[in-house]
Amino acid sequence: MEIIDLGELKASDTEPAETVRFTIERQQKPNLPSWMRRADAPLYGYKIADKDIERFRTYQRVARLAKAEKRGGSISVRTEVCRLADELPSEILVSVFIKTIEIDDYVPFFEDQDVTEHASKEDITELVPLCG
């Protein structure tokens, strides 16, 4: 079981933004389209955990209202990962796609972002511990 930070929502201009977190579950046999697959790259599918679906739907309603009232907010995805080897590869590509009931296809949230372009090897080593 993993936790995902999905977004920040402002209740009003005078109140601080609230970070919303949901539990996600790795799907055992995800039905992912073939265009997502890359040679030798692992591909995983996750979904909002059943226990958090209703809370997620409530968040969607509140987020739509905040957007309509121009209160602000953002959606972000944060994951917790570990590395299998001591040596870091020259590039670490990460892609995140989202599929919702409203959009019946996967759309890129971000695609082929190279982590090594945004952080030093030392930072990556510190932030991404060896799996254990």
How many Cβ atoms from other residues are within 10 Å of residue 9's Cβ? 20
Strand positions, DSSP E, the chain: 2-10, 17-26, 46-48, 73-78, 93-98, 107-114
Residue 2: per-residue pLDDT:
52
Quote the mean pLDDT of the chain. 78
Burial 55-74 (b: 16+ CB within 10 A, else e): eeeebeebbeebeeeebebe
pLDDT digits (tens, 9 = 90+) for 19-36: 777 888 888 888 888 888
Burial 118-130 (b: 16+ CB within 10 A, else e): eeeeeeeeeebee
**What is the Cα–Cα distance from 36 to 45, expressed in whole angstroms?**
11
Question: Does position 109 have pLDDT exceeding 60, yes or no?
Answer: yes
**What is the Cα–Cα distance from 76 to 8, expressed in whole angstroms?**
8
**What is the Cα–Cα distance from 45 to 33, expressed in whole angstroms?**
11
Write down the residue that tokens 């055992």 correspond to.
28
Question: Does position 77 have pLDDT exceeding 50, yes or no?
Answer: yes
Residue 7: per-residue pLDDT:
57
